[in-house]
Structure 1
Amino acid sequence: MLIDRYIYAVTKELPKKFRPETARVLRVLIDEKIEEMNDSLTEEEKVDRVLRELGDPKFLADTYRGHERYLIGPRYYDKYIFVLKIVAVSIVIGLSVATGAAALFGDDTDATIIGIITSYIGNVFSGILQGAAWVTAIFALLEYNQVPLEEMGQEGWDPSQLPELPEKKAHISRGESIFSNMFSTIILTLFFFLPEVIGISFMEGSEWNFIPLFNLETLTSFKFIIFIIFTINILIELVKIIKGRWTLNVALITTALSLISATLFITVIYNMNIWSPEIIRSFERYLPISFERMLFFLTGLVILVTIGEVASALYKGLKYGSGDQL
């Protein structure tokens, strides 16, 4: 069991494609070292000595990785690159959708193909640079805060520090976190680069009509809060991707961030001035309740969803990892 935990602790630091072969080679190595031990030792003593000789799993993982990286740190580098790719792809998709929507439904009749392409390339370049800067800052912050908790010297490591093998249900779906981050990045990109295309398009007679969702003048004053909201949501999913399984600390961190995000979100949507007069008039024209009443129900829905997410996170954190560190 201790051997399995050690192998897991080593392979979880490696890219997924290298894990099966590394696990096989490492198990053979450990078995050979145990066989070479003095027969006067118990099996537990042999395992303990072999694992101490091999040392901290994180340092051994660097050996199997083949080289050390220090931009973010060996423990986070592969995940950093992985998330960076997600953010870059999300920004490109978001700006592509936004540019296409602006070209189809925008009011700028003087726009030229060259102008649209030039603006698109400039926005993509600027967006990717900003996204990369924020991802780097987040990972650097995580690395800085993780070092005193988990990074230990070779001499200070002990087999008793090995984490338990996680239950299958304790794993956090990487696919869900990736999708959530891509969605958040796409929406954030629209808010910052082309907020005028966010709205409702509909056919009336033989013509397309468009109702903007937001009052652009008021929206500008809320951009920083909106940026914080989406950054928090992205950070929540980054924590899940980095850890890969539920622990109590992961649950507590995601709970705190979710509560902050929900509070800021409610503050924004409940402000009537952020919504365009056209959307308010159209809503109240076709529906039997006032727009303000709808916002009240929407706020209640946000609160209920947040409570459900918080309860689920705390339950999983307490059940699967109350004794673990982040």
Structure 2
Amino acid sequence: MYVQEVTRWLPKKKKEDIALELESTIHDMLPDDYDEKDVYQALEELGDPKVLANKYSEKQTHLIGPKYYDLHLSILKWIIPFAVIYSLFTLLGVKLLNLINLGERFDVSISNIEEVLINAITWSITAYVFVTVIFAIMEQVDGKNEDMPKWMGFTSWDPKKLWKEYSVPKKKSIPLSEINAGLIWTVVWGVGYFYADRFLGIYESGQDGLRMVTPAFNQEVLLSFWPIVLLLLGAEIALAIYKLIKRKWSRNMAAFFMIYKIVSVAAFVVILMQPKLFAAEFLMTLSAWFDAAPAIMKDYMVWGTLTLMVVFGAIAIYEAFKKANMNNRSVL
């Protein structure tokens, strides 16, 4: 694992030779009858594999070198998604507040979509350039032969980090993209719930784009359950924070996820069963489209939605426990 971690930073034509040389060096550092403790000691003496790879390089041919690459990449994985989320919801938030103040419904137009996309792309490019320039400066200022980056909070490299990185199966680990996607979904469905009469309904196409003409839900009924919905939103945010801290599935996390899923499905069962949940005009419009009674259309939507929630919820719970029960790989 150590040799692989060193050589992955090197040019292909040098990988094989340096790998053989490094293996020989490690074996020369070990006693004849060595054990795991001796291996750890030898690797600890060699130091961080990224820094060692940098020393094997004859000249610096990169903007961000191995010493700072992981840190640079991890920060970009956070900064860019948050920059995009911030830009999207700042722009949409301003439009939403204007709609609420004017008492109007949401219109989907090409100009709105273009404005949102341009704003998101601009912010993501700005974040990438800003972070990369900072790390490029740090790369040039920092001494090449020093073992650790000049960054607060760094500790000495430990060979046990190899175990932590390689022993967790990929499916058991939780990528940042999953956490970010979960947070985005939380914001989307939260805004969609509390302003359903502005966003969810029947749209008609016009010269300026799509315009909602009939809301799907009775907003008063939805808002009557606001304490429960806020608790569900808080639970989703807590789960995202839990995932961020642990970064891998565990049985406790899977149990928390299962409880959340069961409670959320139960809550939406109660909400969907409310007799005045759907707007009468919305049901009449669907009834005319599909040539069915409004009550039948309502039953289809209610039971169809509940069926999908139960099925996908059960699958998600099964997958969560499946990941949590995966054993760590034996690598030593």
- Which TM class, normalised by the smaller chain length? 0.5 to 0.7
Alignment match, 1:307: 314
Gaps of 5+ in 2: 10-21, 47-66, 69-73, 107-155
How many positions carry a matched residue from both structures?
Answer: 255
Identity of aligned residues (%): 18
- What is the letter of the counterpart of residue 267 of structure 2? L
Distance change >3 Å, CA 234–CA 86, structure 1 → 2: farther
Offset, 1:305: 1.1
- Say which structure is richer in helix: 1
Distance change >3 Å, CA 39–CA 79, structure 1 → 2: same
- What is the letter of the counterpart of residue 315 of structure 2? G
Alignment match, 1:170: 172
Aligned Cα root-mean-square deviation (Å)? 5.6
Q: SS of 1:319's equivalent?
A: coil
Whole-angstrom CA distance in 1 between matches of 2:182 and 2:231: 16
Whole-angstrom CA distance in 1 between matches of 2:171 and 2:307: 30
User: Does 2:253 align with 1:246?
Assistant: no
Equivalent residue for 1:216, pick from 219, 222, 238: 219
Whole-angstrom CA distance in 2 between matches of 1:160 and 1:308: 33
Whole-angstrom CA distance in 1 between matches of 2:103 and 2:205: 12
Alignment match, 1:44: 36
Equivalent residue for 1:255, pick from 254, 258, 278: 258
User: Does 2:295 align with 1:296?
Assistant: no
Confirm or deny: 8 A CA contact 1:211 1:279 kept in the other structure.
Answer: yes
Whole-angstrom CA distance in 2 between matches of 1:308 and 1:102: 38
Alignment match, 1:92: 90
User: Does 2:236 align with 1:229?
Assistant: no
Confirm or deny: 8 A CA contact 1:246 1:321 kept in the other structure.
Answer: no
- What is the letter of the counterpart of residue 260 of structure 1? V
Alignment match, 1:197: 199
- What is the letter of the counterpart of residue 197 of structure 1? F
- Which aligned pairs between 1:81-120 and structure 2 lie closer than 5 A? 85=83, 88-89=86-87, 91-92=89-90, 94-95=92-93, 98=96, 106=104
Whole-angstrom CA distance in 1 between matches of 2:94 and 2:238: 24
Distance change >3 Å, CA 252–CA 85, structure 1 → 2: farther
Max Rg structure: 2
User: TM-score, with normalisation over the residues of structure 2?
Assistant: 0.52
